Amino acid sequence: MKPDLTTLKQQLAEIADLKAAIAVLEWDQQTFLPSGSEKGRARQIAALSRHLHRAATASELGKTIESLEKYPPEPDTIGFALLRSARRQYDRWVRVPETLAAELSATTAEAYTDWLRAREQRNFQILVPRLEKIVDLKRQYAALFAPEERLYDALLDDYEPGQSAAELDMVFGELRSRLPALIDAIIAAQKSGSDFSDRTFPATAQMQFSRDLVTAMGFDFQHGRLDLTEHPFTTDFGLDDVRITTHIDEHDFLSCVLSCVHECGHALYSLGMDPELNRTPLADGASLGFHESQSRLWENQVARSGAFWRAFLPHLHRYFPGQLADVSARDFLAAINRVQRSEIRIESDEVTYNCHILLRYDIERDLIHGRIHCSDLPELWNEKMREYLHITPANDTRGVLQDVHWPTGAFGYFPTYTIGNLLAAQLWELAHRELPGLDDFIAAGTLSPLREWLRDRVHRHGARYLPGELRQRLFGDARLQTEPFLRYLSERYLPEA
């Protein structure tokens, strides 16, 4: 008997619409919300979260899923993936008490305001009471799905289905053992170059150039926006409304430019999904790691390459003729690929970047397992910064307060950045094998071949496949691989080695 998925799709569409409504409020909170409106916004998000929880745990939805599972769709079909995803989503939602879901939403909304104030005053202790509550709530949440010794796995599973900390420990261990020597070798080999930090790049021109870049990448401004925020992010309210944001420093135009390219990589994933997946749980990336692979590939493999700037550097000169008049293409490329140990994750180069992730992974895993406490974080953060990068942040804002993830409850998110870097390197190798002349296309400013290749190989599937399944389909191996990434770094930064 062929199952009729109509009722299931209708029920899932309501859940998707409620999620989108909450996402609109959260996007507004981080972009345009007046400073005196935080408490009202927290109440609104909590109210919608209660409605979302009721819809996602409704007994009618459970009965629909059970009835369809008696005569499931054929394997490797969208219907099969939809039913599997609905079951996974329902089982996770139904275990979470409505009160816990609402309290977590309200607390993280309030913590975002605390985080902004703590950053402004460079004082982490302002955030501690609310962060302690968030950690406790996330531990309660994780305990619904995993035993005490594997609480962190339950949080990882929200972002990277099927991923375990045990596997990450092995993969990250390989990076810990090989990255330090690679970083030292690259820093020793690089030549001195231009520094643009003493020059002013007006915000309006930065935004205009960034809009030009994301348009060339394929971002559709009829179905999206580019706005300013404190911490850049991408969000979507369905496959026809995708928002990206950036942050501007008038003495560091590359921060804005590369941030926009990064977030556009995320946006292209959503915009490139099969429209049939819209308003279903499949209208998402296979995992956050795969989502990060798209943003990191565009930001690093593409937008830091010589081919890319052969096309776009003349355009950049038109926006900043005075600031860059004395900078050659060679010096410009050396400057944007300069490897140096830095305090800020989102401003770090692609070689040292994963040290920032390893640090955060160590801390948040221990935090969730109760081995450390929130009040200890500034000191512990600085200690690990010295261990991994040999530097000490100037203050809490440039240290433990630089990311919004923990105040928003996103524990288990940070490892997906490194997973994304590993996948991006594999995809880059695969794209060059399957797209002859790829670098020539990029050098001509023609980015559509790469975008369409990614759409066919990754984007259109959405969350139809679990991350391990998609890795198997793409690379013939479901395991996470470090070798392509380390090879890529060596070839780009030590070409004569």
Looking at residue 456, its amino acid is D
The pLDDT, as a whole number, for residue 231 is 80
Is 152 a member of any domain? no
Tell me which of 144, 173, 204 is where a domain ends. Answer: 144
Least confident of 1-5, 430-434, 471-475: 1-5
Using one digit for the tens of pLDDT, what is the confidence trace for 276-297? Answer: 999 999 999 999 999 999 999 9
Residue 271 has pLDDT above 60, yes or no: yes
Q: Are residues 99 and 246 in the same domain?
A: no
- pTM, rounded to two decimals: 0.92
Q: Are residues 229 and 268 in the same domain?
A: yes
Report the percent of the chain where pLDDT is more than 70.
Answer: 99
Query: Who contacts 135 (Cβ-Cβ below 8 Å, separation ≥6)?
Result: 367, 368, 374, 411
Q: Are residues 239 and 128 in the same domain?
A: no
Is 245 a member of any domain? yes
Encode burial over 108-121: b for 16+ CB neighbours within 10 A, e otherwise.
bbbbbbbbbebbee
Helix, strand, or coil (residue 236): strand
Q: Are residues 194 and 138 in the same domain?
A: no
The pLDDT, as a whole number, for residue 102 is 85
Q: Are residues 201 and 140 in the same domain?
A: no
Q: Are residues 381 and 486 in the same domain?
A: yes
Region 399-403: mean pLDDT is 96
Using one digit for the tens of pLDDT, what is the confidence trace for 421-451? Answer: 999 999 999 999 999 999 999 999 999 999 9
Using one digit for the tens of pLDDT, what is the confidence trace for 317-346? Answer: 999 999 999 999 999 999 999 999 999 998
Using one digit for the tens of pLDDT, what is the confidence trace for 189-234? Answer: 998 766 787 899 999 999 999 999 999 999 999 999 999 998 899 9
Q: Could you give the CA distance from residue 92 to residue 108 in angstroms, rounded to a whole number?
A: 20
Please choose, from the candidates 424, 410, 419, the residue with its C-alpha nearest in 3D space to the C-alpha of residue 295.
424
Q: Are residues 476 and 350 in the same domain?
A: yes
Q: Are residues 212 and 85 in the same domain?
A: no
Q: Could you give the CA distance from residue 310 to residue 95 in angstroms, rounded to a whole number?
A: 54
Residue 472 has pLDDT above 60, yes or no: yes
Report yes or no: 176 and 483 within 8 Å, Cβ to Cβ.
no
Q: How many residues does the chain have?
A: 497
The pLDDT, as a whole number, for residue 193 is 66
Q: Could you give the CA distance from residue 30 to residue 45 in angstroms, rounded to a whole number?
A: 13
Report yes or no: 340 and 151 within 8 Å, Cβ to Cβ.
no
| CATH at 227 | 1.10.1370.30
Give the pLDDT band (50/70/90) at residue 185. Answer: very high
Least confident of 8-17, 61-70, 98-107, 276-285: 98-107
Residue 109 has pLDDT above 90, yes or no: no
Residue 240 has pLDDT above 60, yes or no: yes
Q: How many domains does the chain have?
A: 2
174 tagged catalytic: no
Tell me which of 98, 114, 144 is where a domain ends. Answer: 144
Q: Which two tokens stand for residue 200?
A: 């002013």
| Residue linked to tokens 């400013």 | 445
Q: Average model confidence (pLDDT) for the chain?
A: 95
Give the pLDDT band (50/70/90) at residue 74. Answer: very high
Is 385 a member of any domain? yes
Which domain does 253 fall in, by range?
165-493
The pLDDT, as a whole number, for residue 488 is 97
Q: Are residues 227 and 137 in the same domain?
A: no
CA distances from 45 to 100, 105, 110, 262 (A): 14, 7, 11, 27
Sign of CA dihedral 106, 111, 112, 113: positive
Q: Are residues 98 and 176 in the same domain?
A: no
Is 358 a member of any domain? yes
- Tell me the sheet residues that pair with 224: 242
Is 151 a member of any domain? no
Q: Are residues 83 and 180 in the same domain?
A: no
Under DSSP, the state recorded for 146 is S
Q: Could you give the CA distance from residue 117 to residue 127 in angstroms, rounded to a whole number?
A: 8
Q: Are residues 173 and 125 in the same domain?
A: no
Quickly list H helices, 377-414: 377-389
Catalytic site residue from 26, 110, 263, 343: 263
Is 1 a member of any domain? no
The pLDDT, as a whole number, for residue 1 is 57
Give the pLDDT band (50/70/90) at residue 46. Answer: confident
> Vertex 124, ends 393 and 230: CA angle to 5°?
80
The pLDDT, as a whole number, for residue 197 is 77
Tell me which of 109, 144, 179 is where a domain ends. Answer: 144
Report the percent of the chain where pLDDT is more than 90.
Answer: 90
Is 438 a member of any domain? yes
Region 177-185: mean pLDDT is 95
Helix axis angle for 6-29 and 59-69, nearest 10°, is 130
CB count within 10 Å of CB 466 equals 19
Is 158 a member of any domain? no
Q: Could you give the CA distance from residue 43 to residue 55 in angstroms, rounded to a whole number?
A: 19
